[in-house]
Structures are given as C-alpha cells and as structure tokens.
Amino acid sequence: MFKNYLTLAIRNLLKRKLYSFINIAGLAIGVAVCLVILKYVDFELSYDNYHNNASNVYRTVTATYTNGEHRGAGPLSGYAQGPLLVADIPEVKTYARTHPMYGGAVVSNNTGAVEPLTFHEENIQFVDSTFFDVFTYNALSGNLATALDKPNSIVVTKTMAKKYFNTEDIVGKPLTISGGWADGDYEVTAVIDDVPDNSHFTFDFLLSFQNIMQNGQYKNDNGWGWYNFVTYVELQPHADPKEVEKKLPAFIEKYQGKDLAQSNSRQVLTFQPIRDIHLTPGFNNESSATMSVNSIYFFIIISIFILAIAWVNYINLSTARAIERAREVGIKKAIGAFRTQLISQFIFESVLVNFIGIVLAVLLSILLLPVLGDIVDKDLVFDFTDGRLWGVLLSLFVVGSLVSGAYPAFVLSSFNTTAVLKGGADKVTGGFSLRKVLVVFQFVASLILIAGTFAIYRQLVFMRSQDKGFNMEQMLIFNGPSVITNRETVEEKLITLKNEIKKIASVENVTTSASIPGGGFNWGTGMRKDGSEQSESKSGNVAWVDPDFLATYGMELVSGRSWDANRESDKGAMLVNEAALKAFGLGDARHALEERIILGDDTVDIIGVLKNYHWNSLKSEHIPILLASDKVSRRNYSVRLSGNIQESIKQIEAKYKEVFPGNPFDYYFLDDFFDKQYKDDQQFGKIFSLFAGLAIVIACLGLWGLASFTTTQKLREISIRKVLGASTSSIMSLLSSQFMKLVFIAAIIAIPITWYGIDRWLDSFAFHIDITWDLFVVPGVILAIIALATVSVHIFRGAGANPAKVLRSE
C-alpha cells in the first residue's frame, strides 16, 4: 500500500505541477525562514555560555536611591568591592575586575621595522590576574594562569597578533601603549583566540590591572570613590545566589553606610548572572550591545506567522482541489476503499510534500543565513552536528505533515460516494468556507508585518532627522595625539594645530573637546545647588570643551553667555542645559545665572544656560548636562567643513602629521558616529523587513494559486454571464471584490493588534513618532494592491475566455 501511496502522490504532484510548486516552494521558504530565525534566536540566547563556569559567574549591579527616589542602576563599582566580597562572604570563591581604557590609546610595534606599526585602538581593558580563572578563553600561546601576574603584561587576540606582528608566535615581544591611562612598554605574555561573537565583554588587548592602579586618582582613593570598575564574582559550586544576596545589605552598610547616610542615600547590591547580561538592556554606562527579550519574542512570532502562512497555503490549495479529486474518492469508495485508507493516502501526500519542502528548506536556509549574518554583523553558521537542529527539523516535518495534511485528508475522505459520482461534489463542499478564514489569517499576518516594518522605518527616520539641538552637518572628527615626545610643549602644539587648521579655506570652524555628542561624558557625579543639603544631590554629567565649542556646533543659549578666554573667572565656570535647571532647582534660565553648583569638592559658577540638546540618542530623555571650559583638549578635534571634503581632509592630515609626527590620523564624521547609537534598531528593522517580505511572498504564492484554481472553477459561470451581456470589466470587478472583502476583514482584525504592538515597541523610546492613521491605512492599501495584482492575472485570463469553447460541452 505504501508503494501505491507513493506512486499516487508522485502522480498527483506531476499532474498539477503549478500547485505542487506553490505548495513545496511555500513550505520550503516558510521552514527556511523558521530555521534561520531559530538559529538567530539561539545565538542571542547563547551569550557567555561558552565559559566553563558560566552558571556560577555573576556581575555585580548597584542600584542607588536618594531621598527614597530611584536614581538608576548599573554595573559600575569601586575597585574595593571585589576583594572585600571574597573576604567577607565565604560563598564568593573569587573575583575579577575590569576597567576600560577610556578613549582608547595608540598601540605601536617599534621593533624590526623602518616605520613602526602604529594604530589607534579602542578595545583595550585592564583586568585582574584572576580574569582567566573566572572566564574561559583558548590560549594559542603563553600561559593564561600567569599571563597577567606582573605589571606591564599584555595579552592580545589572534587578530591583533597578526595585525602587529603577522604571526601568532609573539610571546615575549614588546608593544608600546601611548595616550591612554597607563602609557609605557608592555610585554606580550599570551595570545588567545578572538573573543566569540556571543560575548557581552569584548576586547582586543588585556593589560595587567596593576598598571591602572598606578593612576593617581585611584592611588589616593579608598576604593569606593571612583565607580569606573566592573566587578565579576564566581560563587562556590553549590552556593545559592539568593541566599548570598541576603548578606549584601549588611556588606554595603559595613563599608559605605556612613557615607550613604550623609546624603540620605542607600544602595542595593545584586548579582546578575553573566548569561542574562545580553538580554538585560538599559543599564547606565552599559558598554556592550544588548538586546531586549521583547525583540526575541518578536522574531519568534514572525517565524510562527511565516510557517503558519506556508501551512495555510497547503491547506487552502488542497481543499480547493477537493471538487477536482471528488470523483477519485467516489470511485475508490465504490470499489471498497475504507475511509482510513483514504486518509492515509492523503496524509502520505502531505508527508511527501513536507519532506521535499524540508530538504529544500535546509538548502535555502544555508543560503539565507549569511544574509542575516551580514545584517547583524555576526558569523552565523548551522552546526549540523548539533542534535537540537535535527530535532527541530524532525518536529517541523512531523507537525507540518499533520497540520497541513490532516484537514484536507478528512475533508476529501468524507465525500458521499453517491453524491460525488452524480456530480454533486460542489454541494458537498459548500457552506462555511474554512479557506476564507485561512486567507483572512494570511492577510492579517501580512498586514501586521507590513505595518510593523512601516512603523520601524518611520521611527528610525524620525530619530535620524530630528533636530538634535546642534549642527552635525559635515562635522569631521579626528583623534588628538597620543604619542607625545615633549609633554611640556603639548598644550602649545595643540593650540598651534588648531590655528593651522583654521587657516584652511574650506574650514569654517574648529574646536577641541574631551568628549563629543554620542560619545558619552567625561565625568558623572552627584551634584546639587549651592546652599542645599547634601541629601538633595542628584546625578549629573560633565563634558570638557574649549571656548569655541558652542560656535562650532551651533548650540543655542537661552540665557547668559559662552566663555571669554580673556576672563580669568570664566576658567572654572560652567554652562548648563535646561534639564539641569529642573533637576537641581535652579529656577528659570535667568535666575540660574545667579546660582552656583557643587559637584564633588568644587563649587562652580553658572554663566550660561543652553537649550536642551540631544547629546545622546533619542531613546533617552534629556538629562542634566554641564559643559566645563578647557583651554584646549587633546582628545577630540571637531572641524566644520565646506567645499571639497576629500581635499580638506588631506590638508588637515598633512598639518596634523607636521605638528604631531608619529601619530595615526584617524577621522570620521559626526553624523555617522552619532547614528551608531541606533545600530541595534536599524538591524532590528532590516531583519523585520526581510522576514516580512518573505512572509508576503509566501502569502502571494498561495493567493496566486488559489485565484488560479477559483477562476478555473468559475469558468462556466463567467461564460454564462458573458453570454448574457456582462462586460469583462464587470466580471473582473465581481471576482476581485471577493478577495478585497477578505482584505477589508483582515484590516479590521489587524488594526487593534498592530496598534498594541507598535505602541509597546515605541514605549522604549523617550522621543518617538505618534501613532497616526497612515500607519494602518498605507499598509492596508499596499496589501490590497499586492493582492489585487496577484489575482488580477488569473481573473483577467478567465474573464477573457471564449464562452463558446467553455460551454460547448454542456
């Protein structure tokens, strides 16, 4: 019987090649998209799983409350936290602290070359000697157990070893660090594989923690003053993290209770599993890219939608062909076939179609996965040795065969023998049409995906085009010098370079600063209005800029003035934004000029109030920002250009290398740099659009096949209407209206679902678009046009058929 079923299934597939192609292609695309999405979701959920002790490793997170008000939470801590946790809490086995090389540094290989290999590097971290005890990395050379025990030790990744030495065998060779937090010559003690893509903690170079501790601000600190460190702890194998966390309030009280009481503050210390870090976005000062769990849910829902659309195509086309196959069923029943045998036959056909679809899906997914990898900038590949992958394929095959084959099998096998042999199969299959319900489902899913894509695109355009409060157009940024031969004359040379760049005809203005928009701040600390209690202190952010910053960036003053280089009193004065007025109770913009602010141990004057501007992305609200005056900064040069951009860059580079020889000239444009803050949202939009497009393609395949079959079945009706005088246009309008009604019903169902989803997504943005009528009408019109274009070809062909040829057999 199985041989017979196989023969009949192949015969039916070849008899209706078009419908077979639509079924198999739809299933293949649907399953391929599902596989690709599941691989991506699996990758996002796999972050930091590769560490041997991942289940016992945690990052400390501190939440701060002042006067009972939550002031934020983040992973930064003082350097004393790790050692004291090990000393005071037995369940804490060991710790590892990290400290980034803020602003990066210049790394040079000065050995064996006429000109040293010199590059500006950003991914440099200072870490404890216990780092490789807590985290797992593959050593290509060197001993990781002792690699960071001594000062001036450096561990490099495979890519950096090739970049600077063109070989991995470089243990014992020197590298020079310049312009960072710990300048000097370092000895390479180990080379490791590149950090995996699924790691929340990325780096190219690891320096000994002992070097950062030589920094003056830390040598004179008690370990709790500067929150620039990230502390990781590894718990004992059988320790319960919840029980350990119960001991943390006493730990905080012991070491910080007195200082916190003075400001009426309290801190809540918790342990965050490292495997949860990637899926917990939103922490202050979070350096690694993170993804919202909601995004994971979105992608899973999309995969379900696409797979369901593919299965619906099969069900629709199979039941649509029920009339055509009714005589086959009737004859088989008449000669003694049991219903169970007929069900088995049709299920077998479904199994064959799904098997072919699964095989093609695997091949298609292998081609599709690199496309997704390029979008997310990750190296995604299928691991065919992973049993989970085969489990998913088997599940999709079994479930797909049953879901897509069960209903058509029961419908076809239920025909009454007498009725179908008399030609009454159309009456048997009449009544309530599940096909219409399934088509509506396809339209609903397609509308949701189109509307979601439209909303994401609108929000991204809104964020990129919104007025930031300053001018980013043609703003060239380049790093200041890191390699300094004579520190006594560096300030003079920085000013000389600035003045020389100003002389270039295409340069409109130049400024230097220790930070730039989109690049964070130089200092975050507690601040309060002079005369207020210490308990009223609130968080604020400081960036150091030179007096030309406002003019270069076109920032608007609400009141007061900018700095005057000739006024000695202006050297310590600051500018504040409007958000700072409300946060620190400074009154209105004019009254604020009479106030002073206490930050740290300093009291500073306010000489100007700036209109609120978006120093960071539009995801966050306006926050208190203070701009402090600096005569000149060696961190960043901002140059506003006009005219020939490339020629201007060449002239700037020439002057830079003339004043500061031996320094790499690294430049970029501010608008590109600022938009990197939206990288995750842009990736989300591209992925969503890609899969939404594929879902629509699958839906159109099914609609095209259904329209073809429906038109074929209605040829006699069309011919009779034409004989009675109906025009081709009226027939086309009559047939297409049946599909347009389904689009209208789908729109009614999809609008509230889409509105809810878009509203929830937009809640994650402080500044976002409004949900307007066009977000739903435009996708509806697009879907209607797509559906109409899909069915019109067949309807036009049917409406143009010759009635004489169709009716001559009647």
Task: For residue range 437-480, list pLDDT tens digits in order.
Answer: 878 888 888 888 888 888 988 998 898 888 899 999 999 999 98
Residue 284 above 60 pLDDT?
no
Average pLDDT, the chain: 85
Contact criterion met (CB below 8 Å) for 596 and 603: yes
Residue 412, pLDDT score: 65
Residue 567, pLDDT score: 83
Task: Please report which confidence band the pLDDT of residue 520 belongs to, taking 50, 70 and 90 as the band edges.
Answer: confident
Cβ-count burial 82-106 (b if 16+ within 10 Å, e if not): bebbbeebebbbbbbbbbbbebbbb
Q: Are residues 158 and 175 in the same domain?
A: yes
Dist CA 23 CA 27 (whole Å)? 6
Whether 479 is in a domain gets the answer no
Q: Are residues 447 and 410 in the same domain?
A: no
Q: Is the dihedral of CA 373, 376, 378, 383 positive or negative?
A: negative
Residue 379 above 70 pLDDT?
yes
340's enclosing H/E stretch is helix 339-376
Q: Which range (221-230, 287-296, 686-695) has the least confidence? A: 287-296
DSSP string, 729-741: HHHHHHHHHHHHH
What residue ranges in 47-165 does DSSP mark as E strands?
57-66, 69-74, 76-77, 92-100, 105-109, 117-121, 124-127, 139-142, 153-157
Residue 791, pLDDT score: 77
Q: What is the pLDDT of residues 64-93, one digit of tens each?
A: 887 777 777 889 999 999 999 999 999 999
Q: Are residues 58 and 180 in the same domain?
A: no
Residue 554, pLDDT score: 93
Residue 268, pLDDT score: 93
Tell me the three state secondary structure of residue 361.
helix
Q: Which range (253-267, 414-428, 535-549, 569-583) has the least confidence? A: 414-428
* 179: alpha, beta or left? (left if phi > 0; alpha if psi -120 to 50): left
Q: Which residue has the tokens 């159309």?
A: 426
Residue 409 above 90 pLDDT?
no
Residue at a domain's end among 186, 219, 239: 239
Determine the residue type at 107: V
Residue 92, pLDDT score: 95
pTM of the shown model: 0.80
Whether 666 is in a domain gets the answer no
Residue 641, pLDDT score: 93
Contact criterion met (CB below 8 Å) for 358 and 432: no
Whether 765 is in a domain gets the answer yes
Determine the residue type at 605: D
Q: Are residues 280 and 374 in the same domain?
A: yes
Residue 709, pLDDT score: 66
The range of the structural domain enclosing residue 715 comes to 436-464+678-729+740-810
Task: Please report which confidence band the pLDDT of residue 496 belongs to, taking 50, 70 and 90 as the band edges.
Answer: very high
232's enclosing H/E stretch is strand 229-235
DSSP string, 709-778: HHHHHTHHHHHHHHHTT--HHHHHHHHHHHHHHHHHHHHHHHHHHHHHHHHHHHTT-SS-----THHHHH
Averaged pLDDT for residues 390-407: 83
Residue 114, pLDDT score: 59
Whether 419 is in a domain gets the answer yes
Q: Are residues 162 and 217 in the same domain?
A: yes
Q: Are residues 160 and 89 in the same domain?
A: yes
Residue 428, pLDDT score: 44
Q: Are residues 701 and 775 in the same domain?
A: yes
Whether 329 is in a domain gets the answer yes
Averaged pLDDT for residues 521-550: 86
Q: Which range (263-272, 437-446, 677-686, 797-806) has the least confidence? A: 797-806
Q: Are residues 604 and 745 in the same domain?
A: no
Determine the residue type at 778: V
Q: What is the pLDDT of residues 763-806, one digit of tens each?
A: 878 889 999 888 888 888 888 888 888 777 767 776 767 777 76
Whether 686 is in a domain gets the answer yes
Averaged pLDDT for residues 305-314: 81
Residue 764, pLDDT score: 79
Residue 424, pLDDT score: 53
Residue 432, pLDDT score: 41
Q: Are residues 223 and 262 in the same domain?
A: no
Comparing CA positions, the residue from 295, 282, 159, 117 lying closest to residue 619 is 282
Whether 358 is in a domain gets the answer yes
Comparing CA positions, the residue from 369, 339, 294 lying closest to residue 34 is 369
Averaged pLDDT for residues 273-302: 75
Whether 672 is in a domain gets the answer no
Tell me the range of 22-26, 171-175, 531-535 where mean pLDDT is highest: 171-175
Residue 651, pLDDT score: 94
Tell me the three state secondary structure of residue 785.
helix
Q: Are residues 188 and 298 in the same domain?
A: no
Cα distances (Å, whole numbers) of residue 206 to 148, 155, 186, 191, 713: 8, 5, 11, 10, 72
Q: In the numeric block, which tokens belong to residue 301?
A: 């829902």
3 state SS for 424-474: CHHHHCCCCCHHHHHHHHHHHHHHHHHHHHHHHHHHHHHHHHCCCCCCCCC
Q: Are residues 621 and 512 in the same domain?
A: yes
Residue at a domain's end among 407, 431, 455: 431
Q: Are residues 715 and 648 in the same domain?
A: no
Dist CA 626 CA 586 (whole Å)? 13
Q: Which range (316-325, 394-403, 708-717) has the least confidence? A: 316-325
3 state SS for 467-489: CCCCCCCCEEEEECCCCCCCHHH
Q: In the numeric block, which tokens belong to residue 512?
A: 């230097």
Q: What is the pLDDT of residues 135-156, one digit of tens each?
A: 999 999 999 999 999 999 999 9
Averaged pLDDT for residues 567-574: 84
Q: Which range (161-165, 586-590, 684-688) has the least confidence? A: 684-688
Residue predicted with more confidence, 249 or 643: 249
Residue at a domain's end among 661, 694, 709: 661
Domain total of the chain: 4
Contact criterion met (CB below 8 Å) for 280 and 291: no
- Name the pairing type of β-strands 625-629 and 174-178: unpaired
